Amino acid sequence: MAANRFNGYTDFGIGIGLRIPHYQHIFAEKPVVDWFEIISENYMVDGGRPLQVLDQILERYRVVQHGVAMYFGSAQPLNREHLRRLKLLARRTKTPWLSDHLCWGSVDGRYTHDLLPMPYTREAVAKTAANIRQVQDFIEIPVVVENVSSYAEFHESEMTEWEFLNEVVEAADCGILLDVNNIYVSSQNHGFDPLRYVDSVPADRVAQIHIAGHSKFEKYILDTHDHPVLEPVWGLYARAIERCGPTATLLEWDDNIPTFDEVHGEAMKAAKFLNSQGAQVLPQVNTKELQEIIQ
């Protein structure tokens, strides 16, 4: 597959999310990590401790920005102040791409702080793609959109979720952050074949992949990011890597966060899949246990 501005980051390997409980360990031990993903909104401030921490991280590591408040799918105009701050932060981090979710979450200036599912309609495709294009033009960095997990669907939908994703990214000419855990969660909640979803994604637009753990309840499963990646999600990940080739991969672990080494060890399980497709993810040996996991 020819490299383009979305899929050319084949050397990025495996990253983990930068989280407060790990700050001390990272600064003291200086572990080997390919890159950190930061939540942009946590650092869109004028100064103080968050930016001090970020600058210290940037001295040693590559950082990729992931946002949670752009709401590409909202009908209201984009928040210009949010965009201005995001661009300032992007200049600081030199993030090679910038991601946020394919969702909506705001109405008339009021924000839900939730990643709400889209109605899969042609009208929503047009509006969402126009928003993504505006952001991409303003930020001047490739924008990639992430599929969210969902627990409800709209009667108005005119297509499947994966058709919607395809139409949006073609119309916006943007990249994809493929969250294979979100695909699995939604497939179980809505009763579709998750492999069909993975197989239909335009592989040459996938800039990054998210893996994460979820929780299974009696009637639904929830995207909790609070424990290791489950087997079916590794299966989807393997298929995605087969189709997309070596792709920057990030483990999300946001609740009940264990030690740094435990999170990193879980993330490094992705190495065997990446290396089977020609990547050269090195055994990043932070501990003996880690070495055993990736051998």
Residues, the chain:
295
Rounded CA gap, 172 and 127, in Å? 10
Rounded CA gap, 252 and 18, in Å? 10
Residue whose CB is nearest to Fe ion in the complex, by number: 210
Size of the site for Fe ion (CB under 5 A): 2
| Contact region with Fe ion (CB under 5 A), list: 9-17, 82-90, 191-199, 210-218 | 210-218
Rounded CA gap, 190 and 286, in Å? 40
Question: In terms of CB distance, is 25 or 227 closer to Fe ion?
Answer: 227
| Contact region with Fe ion (CB under 5 A), list: 22-30, 137-145, 173-181, 234-242 | 173-181
CA-CA-CA-CA dihedral for 183, 187, 193, 198, to nearest 10: -10
Rule CB under 5 A: choose which of 205, 210, 243, 264 binds Fe ion. 210
Which residues from 16-35 bind Fe ion, rule CB under 5 A?
none
Task: Tell me the closest approach of the beta carbon of residue 280 to Fe ion, in angstroms.
Answer: 25
Task: Tell me the closest approach of the beta carbon of residue 254 to Fe ion, in angstroms.
Answer: 9
Strand 110-116, strand 104-107: pairing: antiparallel
Question: In terms of CB distance, is 210 or 264 closer to Fe ion?
Answer: 210
Rule CB under 5 A: choose which of 14, 179, 198, 286 binds Fe ion. 179
Task: Tell me the closest approach of the beta carbon of residue 164 to Fe ion, in angstroms.
Answer: 17
Question: In terms of CB distance, is 99 or 286 closer to Fe ion?
Answer: 99
**Is residue 176 a contact partner of residue 217, using CB atoms and an 8 Å limit?**
no
> What are the start-end ranges of the H helices in 140-276?
161-172, 180-190, 194-200, 231-244, 260-268, 271-276
Our finding on whether 41 is near Fe ion (CB under 5 A) is no
| Contact region with Fe ion (CB under 5 A), list: 89-97, 202-210, 261-269, 280-288 | 202-210
With CA atoms as reference, report the closest residue to 148 among 191, 108, 107, 105.
105
Task: Tell me the closest approach of the beta carbon of residue 14 to Fe ion, in angstroms.
Answer: 15
CA-CA-CA-CA dihedral for 89, 284, 280, 182, to nearest 10: -60
Question: In terms of CB distance, is 228 or 290 closer to Fe ion?
Answer: 228
| Contact region with Fe ion (CB under 5 A), list: 134-142, 157-165, 177-185, 278-286 | 177-185
Rounded CA gap, 115 and 127, in Å? 17
Q: What is the DSSP string of 105-119?
A: EEETTEEEEEEEPPP
Question: In terms of CB distance, is 44 or 145 closer to Fe ion?
Answer: 145
Task: Tell me the closest approach of the beta carbon of residue 250 to Fe ion, in angstroms.
Answer: 8
Q: Which residues of 74-111 are buried (b: 16+ CB within 10 A; e: fewer)?
A: beeebbeebeebbbebbeebebbbbbbbbbbbbeeeee
Task: Tell me the closest approach of the beta carbon of residue 67 to Fe ion, in angstroms.
Answer: 11
Question: In terms of CB distance, is 69 or 290 closer to Fe ion?
Answer: 69
Residue ranges in contact with Fe ion by CB under 5 A:
179, 210
